[in-house]
Amino acid sequence: MKKINLFVLALLCIPAILLSSCDRGDDINPENPIMEPAFDVMKRYMLDNQLDLGNILSGPGGEVKFVAGAPAEADLDAFLNKYTILDIRSTEAFNSGHIQGAKNIAFADILTEGDAASKRILVVCYTGQTACFATSLLRLAGHSDAQALKWGMSGWNADTSGPWYSKTGDEAKGHTNWAAHSAPSKITYEDPFIDIYSADGADILKQRIEAVVAGGFKTAKGTDVLNNPSNYFINNYFSDTDYGNFGHIQDAFRIKEELKLEGNGTNYLNPENNAKVITYCYTGQTSAVITAWLQVLGYDAYSMTFGMNGIYHSNPAWGPNQWGVGSSVPKNLPLIKN
């Protein structure tokens, strides 16, 4: 009788064992099935340390925006003294003309070089987009006042302004996938799965930042998104007014005010493996910041290069972020040549 009871007890325990080890599939730590998901741990740490998207874009308290425009010539010395300037362009481009005192580094070394900086960090690239991506990662890594040079070297001097001039376009004008209807209703999704087993939010965040740096800046051309919108989960980062006045890519969601960890606004983005979450803005610079932040959170995120400028530069509803108008007209500040 005793043997039979033990056998029955063993049979009764098997379902419990299976349920406790398999009910969450790959989302659990096999060594600790009840461990809190890494996304939740990291999210709480980020909120506690002012690393929600608004703080990355504007700095804690809104004090330091993620971009700094090229200075007036009279303010050049003060500008140069303010920053540790990290230029992530190619060696050839750097040697052809760079900002005085700038250091040419590889993008892969941005975290190490950032930690070694003695002053506020200014990241410089060709158009401001990759620099904004790097700046977002630096801010997440603790350099809350790091900035990118707005418009990149394209805005510093007419001799280095080629990239922006060559990348503006108007393919959206009259395109069948350019629409003016209201934004589609938002859909709620689950959080991304982060394959890290740790109860330390700082450690999870560090690993995610390092992984994103190693993976590099993920982008897509505006013409490809415009021609093939169904290949992406499209996040339009315009104001509600601009979404209607400028027009937008067909079926693009407008997720701007809600896009933050506080209030679970990120759940409006699709984290599934086949969903390429692409964000587009006016210039590709803000979307680069957002893309880095989303990649750290575990999304398969991309930035649409050159933003609105790249697909509908001549749109008559344009404002101050149109390349070649107002503050985006290239200055003629000094270039150092090696």
Per-residue pLDDT tens digits for 194-216: 999 999 999 999 999 999 999 99
Instruction: State the pLDDT at residue 32.
Output: 55
pTM of the model: 0.90
**Interatomic CA distance for residues 122 and 119, integer angstroms:** 9
Other CB atoms closer than 10 Å to residue 176's CB: what's the count? 8
Q: What is the DSSP string of 241-274?
A: HHHHHH-EETT-EE-STT-STTTTGGGGS--STT
- Backbone dihedral angles phi then psi of residue 99, each to the nearest 5 degrees: -75, 140
Name the nearest CA neighbour of 221 among 242, 245, 249.
249
Domains 49-166 and 178-312 share a fold: yes
Q: Is the model's pLDDT at 314 over the cut of 90?
A: yes
Domain covering 178-312 assigned CATH 3.40.250.10 in the classification:
yes
Average pLDDT over residues 137-162: 96
Alpha carbon of residue 323 to chain centroid: 21
Q: Which fold has domain 49-166?
A: Oxidized Rhodanese; domain 1 (3.40.250)
Listed by start position, the domains of the chain span 49-166, 178-312
